[in-house]
Chain A
Amino acid sequence: MADSTAPKPSSSVKLVLLGEAASSLVLRFVNNDFQENKEPTIGAAFLTQKCNLPTRTIKFEIWDTAGQERFASLAPMYYRNAQSALVVYDLTKPTSLIKAKHWVAELQRQASPGIVIALVGNKLDLTNETSSSNPLGEDGDGEAAEGEDADGDARKISTAEAKSYAEEEGLLFFETSAKLGTNVTEVFTAIANAIPETSLKGARGPGASQAAARTEDQSRVNLTGPRDAASKEGCAC
């Protein structure tokens, strides 16, 4: 990508992650990495990754949560000010879409009204469909075969079923493979594009959001004083 001299506007976007086989999808996006038999997510408060759009840069702050998600025990602070959500289901598990629908309902109840929600069916590599958008499809070496049916297809949730549900609820919809990387960046780019300019923090231009941001700063108290600002300048401690 060519460097332009004037930096593009960049804004942070909070994205909450929910559902099954979800961390792997983010790990592919953030680190371009995949682990077979991944352990439950521990130790990451959130991950960050930039997404470059033609006119601006979106910096995703991705909140993942194994220990509160397992028993649906998320706190309001998790949903607060989230501009986007990624609800992932495992398309090889019959019950997985039902769980995803539960999360969508929970988001509609708890999150801000304007939140952008993407529904994603993951583990596309375990189906026998030849996806044209699969850049690594050619050299698939059969490793993906575990758990497959005799006909090589482990899919339990049809594209049509999930897609029509997504359309009803106004959700973005994708099928992905975290293992192969299929459609992963596409999901995040689509979310970034769907976030209205007005809801972006630090976005320039007229509008009430800027005035709101100003008073917010006026009442904020910094507990670590100017030292934090100094470390921003990259001083080695």
Chain B
Amino acid sequence: MESLNETLWDVVISGTGLKHSLLALALSRSNKKILHVDQNEYYGDAEAAFSLQEVDEWVERVNAVSPSNFRNASLWKTTTSNESDKLSFSRAYTLTLSPQIIYTRSKLLSQLVSSKVYRQLEFQAVGNWWILGEHSLNRLPNGREDIFRDKSIDNRAKRGLMKFLKFVVDYENQNELWQPQADSGLAGFLSSHFQLPPNLQNVICALTLSLDAPESTKVSWSLPRIARHLTSIGVFGPGFGAVVPKWGGGAEISQVACRAGAVGGGIYVLGIGVKESNTSSEEAGNITHVHLSNEDVVKTRHLIQYPAARSTDAKAVSKVIAIVSSSLTTLFKNSVEGSPLAAVSVIVLPVSTVIVEEASQATPIYIMAHSNETGECPAGQCVLYATMLYSEHSKQLLDAALDVFLARVEDTPELLYKLYYEQEPEEENEAQTESLDPSLDLAFNDAILEDVESLWKTVIGDEAEQARFMRFEDREGMSADDDELDEGY
């Protein structure tokens, strides 16, 4: 192995999670000397994606002593001898820790475009939203006409719903209507101001992807998220308002961003972490000596790593990744003329949809269904990502939720595989009890980009003014013929 300690690095980045990978992308044209390491043997950190075999190894590590923001991982696999209900080989799967949907209006997308790395990514539509009702699975109305046609909503509620939808896309100009209720629960607000019945309160709250019950989801937090949902539809085509990168969501973005870092001259070393560091003032300025886990000591002007402390009593979430033996085609069917085939579909189980012996479901459960078009599983199967707020019974509740969901969809799919784990927030955050940590958000949270930009400014320093964040020209193709992008025949 070549040695790393002969160079004075401008920046050493530890961790290849989404945030730090995006930082590497942001710095990829800066001509800085960058060393990017990850203690794991894979890219992506808390946003990684795995084959089945890699999941086995991950589960072992999570349950061993090594500190991380994951805990209590457990795995169940089918033992069926039935040929059609069998798991395929390990690498036929890419199960992601990062299935967040990305709203079409997220700055992440515009930054992936302006930094040109979108060319290495393939985006797919998050097409249909469903509510799991008492007796059936109902598609959420997609726009006004849908609402008018919906026979399950009575006329009074229809009027209230229309009034709310008109208000919410303009909420910023109607402070007098909601400011007094800013800290109240969304459910009460929808009931008192718009006469919406509980089932529609659940529908509206589902659009926020809140992990809290509608009663304890704040109005001030909800309105921008509902507005985002509604105004995102149609931005890149009819019938969808969010996308997911093929091959494992956030994990894929992290890999593509790191490659951009490497193409720009950054050096990547997996399987090496930072043990400790100390900074001293030297001739060349403030230099940090970084002790790596391979016993190397490297010198750098900046060290970027995760905060050491994690708050333990903050909100954690429970998650299940399940593989099922059906392509669940009806979930992904186009609902709107001319829309792309959905690769991801969102299923919401409002409060009290499932009950286990000891407890009823006090907070909503979300299931993101990924079709095999996402590249995450073989044809004829689907991957389900279920999430709810952690509680004493969340594991049993998630199991029950999957059972109920699978009983309501076509061709009674079998469960083939189930990974359960719990995830804690990434950062210490006083506001924790109030809202959700961005790393646990079910939709990509643009707050992450603000962190990336401020880290970028720290590293770039005075040059930050003229340099433009995440705006790059296409790399020279260096080809004899750049004239055409011929895709075939």
Residue ranges of A at the interface with B (Cβ–Cβ < 8 Å): 9-12, 30-31, 40, 42-50, 59, 65-68, 70-73, 75-78, 80, 201-204, 215-216, 218-225, 232, 234
Contact = CB atoms under 8 A, between A and B. Distances in A.
B43 to A, nearest CB: 5
A50 B480 contact: yes
Most central of B247, B263, B265, B475 by chain A CB within 10 Å:
B263
B285 interface: no
Contacts of B236: 221-223, 225
B351 interface: no
A107 to B, nearest CB: 13
A47 B478 contact: yes
A48 B477 contact: yes
Contact of B262 (A12, A67, A203, A219): A67
A68 B340 contact: no
Nearest to B127: A219
Contacts of A50: 480-481
Interface in B203-251: 236-237, 240, 243, 247
Given A71-B269, A223-B113, A10 B475 contact: no
A219 B308 CA distance: 41
Contact of A71 (B49, B109, B268): B268
12 contacts: A10-B488, A43-B265, A43-B475, A44-B476, A45-B260, A50-B481, A66-B262, A67-B265, A68-B259, A68-B268, A221-B236, A223-B118
Interface in B93-134: 94, 109, 112-113, 118, 120, 122-125
A73 B489 contact: no
A71 B41 CA distance: 11
B263 A45 contact: yes
Contact of A65 (B252, B263, B477, B485): B263
Contacts of B268: 67-68, 71, 73
Nearest to B236: A221
A10 to B, nearest CB: 6
B489 A204 contact: yes
A91 to B, nearest CB: 21
A144 to B, nearest CB: 26
Contacts of B392: none
A217 to B, nearest CB: 9
B55 interface: no
Contact of B125 (A11, A44, A68, A221): A221
Nearest to B43: A75
B40 to A, nearest CB: 11
B486 A220 contact: no
A219 B339 CA distance: 9
Nearest to A27: B478
A59 B485 CA distance: 10
Nearest to A202: B488
Contacts of B485: 232
B477 A42 contact: no
Given A43-B265, A65-B263, A221 B489 contact: no
A46 B478 CA distance: 8
Contacts of B120: 45, 77
A166 to B, nearest CB: 25
A77 B259 CA distance: 9
B154 interface: no
A131 to B, nearest CB: 26
A65 to B, nearest CB: 6
Interface string B1-21: 110000000000000000000
A49 B478 CA distance: 9
B267 A223 contact: no
B263 A44 contact: yes
Contacts of A221: 123-125, 236-237, 240, 243, 340
Contact of A44 (B475, B488, B489): B475
Contacts of A43: 263-265, 475-476
B479 A71 contact: no
Contacts of B340: 218-221
A234 B270 contact: no
